[in-house]
Homo-oligomer: A and B are copies of this chain.
Amino acid sequence: MDTLHFETAEQLRLACRRGQFSAPTSGLAEGYQQGNIVILPSALADDFLRYCVRNPKPAPILGISEVGDPRLPSLGADLDIRFDAPRYRVFRNGEAVDTVTDIEALWRDDFVTFVLGCSFSFETALLRADIPVRHIEAGRNVAMYETNIETAPSGPFSGPMVVSMRSFTPQDAIRAIILSSHLPQAHGAPVHIGDPSQIGISDLAKPDFGDAPVIHPGDVTVFWACGVTPQTAIRHARPEIAITHAPGHMLVTDLRTEIA
């Protein structure tokens, strides 16, 4: 696939819809907020909505659809969730069973779509502030860890908070903490700094998701709530069917990445 440049979120979504784009969205359509997708049968939607509201740091809600309606007009006038993300993951009974580039054939009249904030917006803000992001510099995925912090449960949705870790010089760590506190829709302020064992992480070099981190001598480790948390809650809930974006293949919305 060519390296494509998208001026707007809508251009990127249209390329997905036409089958012209199915790659990761990191760094694309800069300034537009990207989102995690969770699609569930309506029978589970109320419990999942409460789960998100009770756990706003890992699951900040950017938008919710009407039952059976594939549109999310608050996130994009013509947005159609069946086609507009580059790649989707299908879960049956809590297990990922398939990856597809559209979900037209799977769509059901009782589906409800949730779009949840994503750390890509936050990383863009860090880079704009000239704060180096070690895993991006190294061309790696961010390191993510299951913690001993339990999320607030709702119905069948529960489980540990998953965090992403980024390390910085102490001065950049201070700036990153303050900056992220102004981006509540991209997981907000960190949930922990310093000693990983305090939140149940035994070995930083062995993340549960993503790649091993790059940590420079003298760095301070900073841990943010991660959008993988609701996916872990879905695995725990074992719904008959659930559809999410494929990791890194986010929905790009018309929302601008704004300071709150």
A residues lining the B interface (CB < 8 Å) = 170-171, 173-175, 177-178, 181, 189-195, 198, 218, 220
- List 8 interface pairs A-B (beta carbons < 8 Å), by A numbering: A170-B193, A170-B195, A171-B191, A171-B192, A174-B191, A177-B178, A194-B220, A195-B218
Stoichiometry (number of copies): 2
Q: Out of B181, B192, B193, which one reaches A193, CB within 8 Å?
A: B193
Complex Cα gap A106–B215 (Å): 57
Query: Which of B175, B190, B194, B198 meets A194, CB within 8 Å?
Result: B194
Say yes or no: B170 contacts A194, CB within 8 Å: yes
* Residue pair A170, B189 in contact (C-beta under 8 Å): no
In the complex, how many angstroms separate the beta carbon of A192 from the nearest chain B beta carbon?
A: 5
Whether A174 contacts B189 by the Cβ 8 Å rule is: yes
**Residue contact A198 to B181, C-beta cutoff 8 Å:** no
Query: Is B178 a contact partner of A198 (Cβ separation < 8 A)?
Result: no
Give the nearest-CB partner of A193 in chain B: B170
